[in-house]
Amino acid sequence: MLLNERVKTMKVAIYCRLSDEDKNKKNKEVDSESIQNQKSMLISYAMQKQWEIYNIYSDDDFKGSDRNRPDFNRLLKEAEERKFDIILCKTQARFTRELELVEKYIHGLFPIWGIRFVSIVDNADTANKGNKKARQINGLINEWYLEELSDNIKGVFRDKKINGQHVGSFAVYGYTRDPENKGKLIVDLEASRVVKEIFNLYMQGYGKTHIARILNEKGIPNPSEYKRQQGFKYKNSHHKNRTNGTFWTYSSICTVIKNEMYIGNLVQGKYQTVSYKSDKKISIPKENWIVVKNNHEPIIDINLWNKVQAMSKDRAKPFDTGKVGLFAKKVKCLECGYNLKSTLKHGGIRYLRCESRYTHREVCSGAMISVDRLERFVLAELQILIDKYADKNYIAQRVTFNNKLDEQKEDLQADIETYKKKIEICSNGIKSLYVDKTKGLIDDGEFVDLSKNFHKDKKLYLSLISEIEEKLIALDNKRQHTENIYQFIEQFTNIEKLNRNIVLELIDYIEVGHRYEKSKDRPVKIHWNF
């Protein structure tokens, strides 16, 4: 080399990375993992090699498998632009733990871009062709490490979920995390009042869209906005239009109404990541969710919950006013079985009519009845039932009926005890036969023949006990049926007007037929829930 020839100065880009797993290590090497110590080590190494430091790139609190590291991507961009000659890291794992990226960049693109990769601790250096296998082995080991770490973390989280600990970053709307125990949920009084209002409005017959409108008019922030107002860095990925992200919508009301967290059940494991290499999540079938019942304080009473779920299942469409019709999804045509649909006629009077007559005239003449008239009919029939069940003679009959049920139960339970004793005798008989066989008092053939009879009898007695238990269940159901009737009667005595809640409580469905010729009367059959 000539004395006046200028030696090219190599420019080096220093890259450092630190993740949570490094911060949480409880050993003496914690300090050596810090960003500052990584920088000091790498700067010192670069100075020894007389390399010019182009820039220092640093990603704090990022995993080695995270491809969205800001400085990592800036480093790659500037490497492609040939702004430096060398990338220097403490270890290859600081650059990436993914074998795919090792092959793509360290062994693929970097040589094409004229970039040399060097890591100090594990002696990786692309200028040394002899240690390529070592770099690939390092990449493979790091890949295994990531996979094993991911599985271990998932296992720990799953155990916590099964044991009733909340592991999410944010509590469901209506709750907050207990400051004394992060895995426990406690009621958020302000948000829980909104949850209760949603359930109560739905029970009053308001549709989901109308409930959302009511909350928005009151200026109540939706769950996402409420969390942000509480100081949480919360983002809802479902809100593509961020300008509308503060408002309640049909879907947000649906989410509240269907969430059994509000009855005290901890529901987790609805989603899982595709793999440790991706943050993309996929839905898990409902039967595989992790549900721990009665895990925390409920906001919604179980009876109200059951009623709302039954209403939601009906999917009755609300009117333009936002309220669901009084008899929506509850009235069928007696002739063809179609649901009667609501329509406005004659000065705003609302009617229910069967529209199948337009397509099935040969089988249906078209039942129709006004909502007001049907309501009066239901109230009148209800009063007849109340009078019947409140009658002294009927009450006496009920007492006699219940007494007979109790006598039948006692007789059946006595039969069960008798059969249990006979089963015990059969079991003892089989044991005695076995003893006789071992003593040589009977041979194998005799043992088999005699034990068959005992087994046959035992099977018969078990079958008889099963039949009796079914009869006992039927008797309990009969008694509960009569009790339910009186509970309904006590609750709805002196009622003068129906509402949607009462209709759902009392009525399974109503059948309405075509009116008789030259008469305003029409057949109406009510199928009560009791």
CATH number of residue 131's parent domain: 3.40.50.1390
Residues 236 and 292 in one domain: yes
CATH number at residue 236: 3.90.1750.20
pTM: 0.45
Sign of CA dihedral 402, 407, 412, 417: positive
Q: Which long-range contacts (CB under 8 A, 24 or more apart) does 427-432 make?
A: 427/454, 427/458, 429/454, 430/454, 430/455
Q: Is residue 165 part of a domain?
A: no
Residues 133 and 69 in one domain: yes
Q: Is residue 422 part of a domain?
A: yes
> Token match 């099963």: residue?
466
Residues 143 and 183 in one domain: no
| Contact criterion met (CB below 8 Å) for 175 and 296 | yes
pLDDT tens digits, residue range 163-191? 778 877 788 899 988 888 888 888 999 99
CATH number at residue 356: 1.10.287
Domain extent for 216: 175-314
The closest alpha carbon to 85, from 167, 23, 8, 5, belongs to: 8
Give the list of residues 6+ apart from residue 55 with CB closer than 8 angstroms, or none: 13, 14, 78, 84
Using CA atoms, how far apart are residues 41 and 39, in angstroms rounded to an integer? Answer: 5
Query: Which amino acid, 480?
Result: Q
Using CA atoms, how far apart are residues 34 and 60, in angstroms rounded to an integer? Answer: 9
Residues 394 and 491 in one domain: yes
Residues 194 and 275 in one domain: yes
Give the list of residues 6+ apart from residue 4 with CB closer than 8 angstroms, or none: none
Residues 216 and 346 in one domain: no
Residues 423 and 504 in one domain: yes
Residues 136 and 254 in one domain: no
| Contact criterion met (CB below 8 Å) for 297 and 187 | yes
Q: Residue 87 has what pLDDT? A: 93
The closest alpha carbon to 173, from 263, 256, 290, 297, belongs to: 256
The closest alpha carbon to 368, from 349, 382, 347, 383, belongs to: 349
Using CA atoms, how far apart are residues 415 and 325, in angstroms rounded to an integer? Answer: 52
Residue 62 has φ and ψ, to the nearest 5°, of -135, 140
Q: Residue 151 has what pLDDT? A: 55
Two structure tokens written together for 62: 């990022």
Q: Is residue 170 part of a domain?
A: no
Beta bridge partners of 526: 510
Q: Is residue 104 part of a domain?
A: yes
Number of folded domains that form the chain: 3
Question: Helices marked H in 83-234 — which ranges?
Answer: 92-95, 99-101, 110-113, 132-162, 189-203, 208-217, 223-229
Q: Is residue 449 part of a domain?
A: yes
Q: Residue 12 has what pLDDT? A: 92
Two structure tokens written together for 159: 């155990």
Q: How far is CA 522 from CA 43, 377, 452, 516, 530, in A?
A: 95, 11, 66, 6, 24
Residues 337 and 308 in one domain: no
Domain boundary among 132, 158, 184: 158
The closest alpha carbon to 417, from 476, 464, 474, belongs to: 464
Two structure tokens written together for 1: 């080399």
Residues 270 and 367 in one domain: no
Using CA atoms, how far apart are residues 9 and 52, in angstroms rounded to an integer? Answer: 7
Q: How far is CA 242 from CA 2, 37, 116, 237, in A?
A: 65, 41, 44, 10
Two structure tokens written together for 239: 């809100």
Residue 89 has φ and ψ, to the nearest 5°, of -130, 165
Beta bridge partners of 342: 352
Q: Residue 217 has what pLDDT? A: 87
Pairing of strands 271-275, 278-283: antiparallel
Burial 289-300 (b: 16+ CB within 10 A, else e): ebebeebbebbb
Two structure tokens written together for 110: 């970097």
Using CA atoms, how far apart are residues 38 and 16, in angstroms rounded to an integer? Answer: 6
Two structure tokens written together for 359: 């397509």
Q: Residue 489 has what pLDDT? A: 66
Length of the chain: 530
In which residue ranges of the chain is pLDDT below 50?
Answer: 1-6, 25-32, 238-244
Q: Residue 30 has what pLDDT? A: 42
Two structure tokens written together for 291: 């549900």
Q: Residue 117 has what pLDDT? A: 92
Q: Is residue 6 part of a domain?
A: no
Residues 264 and 360 in one domain: no
- DSSP state at residue 236: -
| Contact criterion met (CB below 8 Å) for 325 and 371 | yes
Pairing of strands 116-119, 86-89: parallel
